[in-house]
Amino acid sequence: MDKKSPIVQPTKLPCPPIPASVRTMQGEHGLLDLWKAIKPLATIASAMNTGAHPDDEHSAMLAYLALGRGVYTTSVIATRGEGGQNEIGCEQGTALGIIRTRELEEASSLSNVTLGILSEELDDPIHDFGFSKCAEETFRKWGEEVVYERLIRKIRELRPDVVIACFENEPTTHGHHRAITLLTQRAFHEAADPQIFPAHRQAGLLPWQMKKLYLPIMDNDDYHVAVPVGEYDQIYGSSYVQLGERSRFMHKTQGMGVHYDEGPTYNYYRLDASVFPAPEKERDFFSGLPVSFADLAQGIAAKGGKELAEVLHRMHDAATDVLNAYPRFAEVAQRVHRMKALLATAQQEVRKAPLDEETKMDLMYRLGLKEAQLNRASAEALSLVVKIKPETGEWVAGQTTTVTVTAYNGGSLEVEHVQLRMRVPAGWTAKPLTPTAFPRLAYNQTVCTVFEVSIPAQTELFHPYKPPVLDVEVLYFAFETASTIRVEPESRVAVLPPYAVTLTPSDVVRNTLHTDETIPVKVTLKQYRPGSSTAKVALIVPAGWTAEPAFVDVPFSFRSETKTIAFTVHTTPQVTNGKYQISATVVGTDGVTEIAQDVQVIEYPHVGRTYFIRPATLTVQAFDLAIPKNQRIGYVSSGFDNMDKYLPAVGVNCLNLDANEIQSGDLSRYDTIVLGIRAYGFRRELIESNQRLLHYVENGGNLVVQYHKPEDKWKPHLAPYPIFIGESLIDWRVTNEQSDVRMLAPDHPMFQEPNVITQADWDGWVQERSIYNPSRWGSEYTELIATSDPGEPEFRGIFLTAHYGKGTYTYSSLAWFREIPQLVPGAFRLFVNMISQKQ
């Protein structure tokens, strides 16, 4: 059968029941999971929070709404966070976006928040391209109508009563944030217009009018709503600020999460737009809006739907009964199923009520959400634990495998007429090898179905942003009322290429000053297909280049076996400056030649395992690079950059310095010592050893310090002459990677030795020029360059150098950590000059 999204989709009347979708029903938190499941049953209001990046969400406010009030709460985020920094590993770009997506998914799940992300593909136009100072640049790179259409689509799909933007649209705010706020404000007025993206109607998405739009404010004297996020929830044993921070701790790549003490705390919001007049001060976001079934019934009665209003009043009482039964599981289950039966009556009454179609559509959507919530509540109250256990989670096209599905009853009530159904994509088959229907499931008993899953020879490979390729639908009866839940695998199930191919290194500099050098390439293959096979591997090289050997037959005996083979690539005698690519082909046992694919396994405890599949390529950047002989460079890494990997790759003798070497080693052995980005903030020994570093310079050493944030324990006196770092997030950076650069001291050795630096060396930079620039510095420094974003004053403190004693001290906030891994020729040439300075 077709694999369908578990996300609730508005459809034309009549709206069918919508099963809940969960990962694995395991009941790990018992009473808390039960409360999270039943709390939303009494609330029919909905709210949406819109932001640009993972970790933009207002976590405390979302926890208050979803966990504290039971509001159907959604978070819509534009990008995957590809341009952020990684504080737990070395993944950058798309790989980082994959991790940050998983972090956002886990954070949202913790707070009972439904997540929507506008970026859909690995190379999506809506991406985090780094810091932006204005919405206009963001719209140019994203495509304003692209992101706007997707935002309108999410609004029509999720139909929030209230929308809350994460940021104000004001000049000191990140351009991505400003862009999403501007589009949210525009969408408030246009999402209800049928002439805006009329094709949405064909997908069953009808226009939707949000009722209120709020913006956050810092000034608590100019607010409409004060959200009491500091309130203490005795069931959770935490305030909503603390609950929100539990979800923020999931954003580990960004170093998020703070431990807060208990006490009164508020988030303040200003009403930006409303479909009806609002008082100067409101009790909360939903003042004047229906929040409970009783509120809804009152409005329906006023429209002439008296019979339906009566049923809705009964729904209100039924929801109250469910909550009052907590924490008695069996009693909760009984009352949940009583409410389910009543909900079916309400849906029937909607169909025959004398109401306009728009009102009916809204009611059916809200009741559909409630049905999904009741299904989840039923499973939690009954302690129904469903697990999906694939034989292996790594599959290949054309494979047949088995998946075992179990349902366990951990509650005191017997569950009847249990059916286990597996849902797979079109073209796949899921054949049950054992019974799928069971008359009853008693306490502490398990039923089990084994499915034989066949994957067609032509099928899509794993995509980290798409729903799982399979899930299980569980149907059962309790108290003579049917329930349905959908369960997804706890761990990723991935269709992978038969052979994962990795070329090492992944990128290399071809120094055109040394034309006789070859390029050694290691090719590592991992077999994902079961059994034995032979793969024929060959490299694809640029015209005129050759690879030895021409091909290699690689035999495999079992799944997951890994082998590495060596090739040597010979270039043409004269390689011109430019970028070249080496790739590979693989011919499997079936004789089909395929472009080799690399499978990057990404795995961290807080997000589990996922995969990044991409073509197996090796980038060769050819340019001339003069490197002094017999240099000895000491590198102090903070763990946030990997330049110590790239410098040796071009022939720089670069050694990593540990704490002992910094604190007590002979620093004079090093011609240059380089401190990585933000090193003072994360290498504790640097602060206490700073005087040793300055003595090293004074005695003739060359010390290079890369950018630091003000909060990285940076103090002006850490430099031999004071350097003050600009405090503003937005003001002290150059985000335009193509900004004009003036060399203020063109004859300085920094621009002459050993590489002559010209204007061409500032071409091809990526993402940004500089970040966290100094705002003031001592007159002893030579200002080397000046640059700025368009229309802004020039920065002259981006690249500073000074003599100190017999040595040289250089501070640079240029974005070396982005340019060097991207093999930007000018950045390499200038960095080598910087580490080659002598008195």
Share of the chain above pLDDT 70, in %: 96
In sequence order, which ranges of 114-164 are alpha helices (DSSP H)?
A: 135-142, 144-158
Predicted confidence at residue 275, as pLDDT, reads 94
Asked if residue 671 has pLDDT above 70, the reply is yes
Asked if residue 24 has pLDDT above 60, the reply is no
16 within domain boundaries: no
Query: Are 533 and 679 in the same domain?
Result: no
Asked if residue 621 has pLDDT above 50, the reply is yes
Query: Are 533 and 650 in the same domain?
Result: no
Predicted confidence at residue 639, as pLDDT, reads 82
Query: Are 639 and 743 in the same domain?
Result: yes
6 within domain boundaries: no
Query: Are 256 and 277 in the same domain?
Result: yes
* Contact (Cβ atoms closer than 8 angstroms) between residue 393 and residue 489: yes
Query: Are 481 and 512 in the same domain?
Result: no
Predicted confidence at residue 574, as pLDDT, reads 82
Boundary residue ending a domain (380, 406, 426): 380
166 within domain boundaries: yes
Predicted confidence at residue 222, as pLDDT, reads 83
14 within domain boundaries: no
Asked if residue 127 has pLDDT above 70, the reply is yes
Average pLDDT over residues 103-110: 97
Predicted confidence at residue 276, as pLDDT, reads 86
Asked if residue 205 has pLDDT above 90, the reply is yes
- Residue 619 and residue 754: Cα distance in Å, rounded? 25
Share of the chain above pLDDT 90, in %: 86
What's the token pair of residue 615?
A: 């073509």
* Contact (Cβ atoms closer than 8 angstroms) between residue 482 and residue 371: no
Asked if residue 839 has pLDDT above 90, the reply is no
- Residue 49 and residue 62: Cα distance in Å, rounded? 8
Asked if residue 2 has pLDDT above 60, the reply is no
* Contact (Cβ atoms closer than 8 angstroms) between residue 404 and residue 65: no
Query: Are 232 and 157 in the same domain?
Result: yes
Question: Per-residue DSSP letters for 493-517?
Answer: -EE--SEEEEEESSEEEEETT-TT-
Asked if residue 541 has pLDDT above 60, the reply is yes
How does pLDDT run across 463-519, given as a tens digit for each residue? 999 999 999 999 999 999 999 999 999 999 999 999 999 999 999 999 998 877 899
Question: Per-residue DSSP letters for 624-669?
Answer: -----TT--EEEE--SS--HHHHHHHTT--EEE--HHHHHHS-GGG
Average pLDDT over residues 624-641: 92
Task: Report in angstroms the alpha-carbon separations of 610 from 103, 379, 719, 821.
Answer: 12, 28, 43, 23
89 within domain boundaries: yes
* Contact (Cβ atoms closer than 8 angstroms) between residue 451 and residue 433: yes
- Residue 160 and residue 73: Cα distance in Å, rounded? 8
Average pLDDT over residues 758-782: 96
- Residue 290 and residue 288: Cα distance in Å, rounded? 7
- Residue 392 and residue 806: Cα distance in Å, rounded? 63
Which letter does DSSP use for residue 529 in this model? S
Query: Are 414 and 268 in the same domain?
Result: no
Query: Are 659 and 690 in the same domain?
Result: yes
- Residue 329 and residue 326: Cα distance in Å, rounded? 7
How does pLDDT run across 146-193, given as a tens digit for each residue? 999 999 999 999 999 999 999 999 888 899 999 999 999 999 999 999
- Residue 68 and residue 285: Cα distance in Å, rounded? 14
Query: Are 392 and 452 in the same domain?
Result: yes
- Residue 641 and residue 705: Cα distance in Å, rounded? 13
Strand partners, 107: none
Helix (H) or strand (E) holding 682: helix 679-682
Q: Which long-range contacts (CB under 8 A, 24 or more apart) does 315-318 make?
A: 315/339, 315/342, 315/343, 315/346, 315/370, 316/42, 316/292, 318/342
Q: Residue 669 class from Cβ within 10 Å (0-12 exposed, 13-18 middle, 19+ buried)?
A: exposed
260 within domain boundaries: yes
* Contact (Cβ atoms closer than 8 angstroms) between residue 670 and residue 701: yes
* Contact (Cβ atoms closer than 8 angstroms) between residue 751 and residue 745: yes
- Residue 659 and residue 662: Cα distance in Å, rounded? 5
Q: Is 281 left (phi over 0), alpha (psi -120 to 50) or beta?
A: beta
Helix (H) or strand (E) holding 477: strand 471-478
Which letter does DSSP use for residue 770 in this model? B
Predicted confidence at residue 40, as pLDDT, reads 98
CATH number for the domain that contains residue 702: 3.40.50.880
How does pLDDT run across 330-361, given as a tens digit for each residue? 999 999 999 999 999 999 999 999 999 999 99
Total structural domains in the chain? 5
- Residue 498 and residue 493: Cα distance in Å, rounded? 15
Predicted confidence at residue 615, as pLDDT, reads 96
Predicted confidence at residue 280, as pLDDT, reads 67
- Residue 268 and residue 227: Cα distance in Å, rounded? 6
pLDDT grade, residue 16 (50/70/90)? very low
Predicted confidence at residue 162, as pLDDT, reads 98
Report CA dihedral (456, 457, 462, 465) to the nearest 10 degrees: -60
For the whole model, what pTM was predicted? 0.90
Query: Are 32 and 125 in the same domain?
Result: no
Task: Report in angstroms the alpha-carbon separations of 135 from 142, 143, 180, 181, 790.
Answer: 10, 11, 8, 9, 14
Query: Are 693 and 794 in the same domain?
Result: yes
**Cα torsion 614, 618, 623, 624: sign:** positive
CATH number for the domain that contains residue 569: 2.60.40.10
Measure CA of the first residue to CA of the last residue in the chain; give whole Å.
74
Predicted confidence at residue 278, as pLDDT, reads 67
Among 511-520, 649-658, 743-752, name the one with the lowest average pLDDT: 511-520
374 within domain boundaries: yes
Fill in the amino acid letter for 106: E
* Contact (Cβ atoms closer than 8 angstroms) between residue 86 and residue 130: no
- Residue 296 and residue 43: Cα distance in Å, rounded? 10
Which residues form the domain of 132? Answer: 45-289
Ranges of beta strands (E only) in 714-833 are 723-725, 741-743, 774-777, 782-783, 785-787, 799-804, 807-812
264 within domain boundaries: yes
Predicted confidence at residue 26, as pLDDT, reads 45
Query: Are 178 and 272 in the same domain?
Result: yes
Boundary residue ending a domain (230, 263, 289): 289
Fill in the amino acid letter for 100: R
pLDDT grade, residue 25 (50/70/90)? very low
Asked if residue 216 has pLDDT above 70, the reply is yes
Predicted confidence at residue 9, as pLDDT, reads 34
Asked if residue 781 has pLDDT above 60, the reply is yes
CATH number for the domain that contains residue 49: 3.40.50.10320
Half-sphere exposure at residue 806, Cβ-oriented, CA atoms within 13 angstroms: 7
Report CA dihedral (388, 390, 395, 397) to the nearest 10 degrees: -80
Boundary residue ending a domain (332, 359, 380): 380
Q: Is 538 left (phi over 0), alpha (psi -120 to 50) or beta?
A: beta
Asked if residue 549 has pLDDT above 60, the reply is yes
Average pLDDT over residues 638-666: 92
* Contact (Cβ atoms closer than 8 angstroms) between residue 70 and residue 96: no
Asked if residue 10 has pLDDT above 60, the reply is no
Average pLDDT over residues 682-690: 95
Asked if residue 319 has pLDDT above 90, the reply is yes
Average pLDDT over residues 548-561: 96
Classified as helix, coil or strand, 23 is: coil
